[in-house]
Amino acid sequence: MNPEQPPSSLSPLLASRRSPWSFDTDAEVGDRALAAVLEAARWSASSGNTQPWRFLVGRRGDAVFEKIYGTLRPRNRTWAGGAGVLLLTVYDLGGDRPLRHAQYDVGQAVAHLSIQAGHEGLVVHQMAGFDPDAAREAFGIPAGFVPCTVVALGHLGDPGSLPEDLAARQARPRTRRPLAETAFTEWGVPLDLDRPPG
């Protein structure tokens, strides 16, 4: 995969979104911005409008943040403590009427949250690297609900504050599989698009 920039056709909020590791530990996430990103998630689409997502929200320095932080894999602990907010995302399995798309829906809600975060001047870094059983235990999450991801939210910080390997990763150009290997007309047959470069 070749390193590349997102094309200029992307909305600036989408083009500038990325998952940085460095957070500004001096800057707090204000109530207004936090409410805005949570509203963005709340107003995203879901299968049958079932809204299977739930969020446990911790702010740096409070007990909820510490509990979420305590479930992270060691690698993620090296940087995620700098975020202003840690969110534990959870989805509802739906009980007697299973929600087959619950995981899809929670992902989409977080995608909306991430774009709203960009609008608020904030950055987001999602994590699968946490212990869902520990999260269930820490928050008494009932059967029928599943801890899904942890989301770090905050202000972008100086990469100089990161461990060397993460600073190098953050500086590295991003890569994506080409569109021709992603969008097909028949399986494996690329969609033929006439489009200007960039």
Ligand X SMILES: Cc1cc2nc3c(=O)[nH]c(=O)nc-3n(C[C@H](O)[C@H](O)[C@H](O)COP(=O)(O)O)c2cc1C
Given strand 85-92, what is the order of strands in its sheet?
53-59, 85-92, 145-154, 123-127
Q: Which of 15, 18, 28, 54 binds ligand X (CB under 6 A)?
A: 18
Stretches 27-35, 36-44, 122-130, 186-194: which one binds ligand X (CB under 6 A)?
122-130
Q: Which of 19, 70, 163, 180 binds ligand X (CB under 6 A)?
A: 19
Per DSSP, the three-state class of 198 is: coil
Binding residues for ligand X restricted to 135-174, rule: CB under 6 A: 149, 174
The CA-atom distances, in angstroms, between 83 and each of 124, 143, 188, 190 are 9, 29, 41, 40
Q: Which two tokens stand for residue 46?
A: 């879901």
Report the distance separating Cα 149 and Cα 80, nearest Å.
Answer: 13
Q: Which of 25, 55, 93, 129 binds ligand X (CB under 6 A)?
A: 129
126 binds ligand X (CB under 6 A): yes
Stretches 31-39, 40-48, 126-134, 183-191: which one binds ligand X (CB under 6 A)?
126-134
Nearest approach in angstroms of CB 167 to ligand X is: 13
Report the distance separating Cα 28 and Cα 26, nearest Å.
Answer: 7
Binding residues for ligand X restricted to 49-88, rule: CB under 6 A: 76
Closest to 58 (Cα-Cα) out of 48, 43, 47, 69: 69
Q: Binding residues for ligand X, per CB under 6 A?
A: 18-19, 76, 126-129, 149, 174
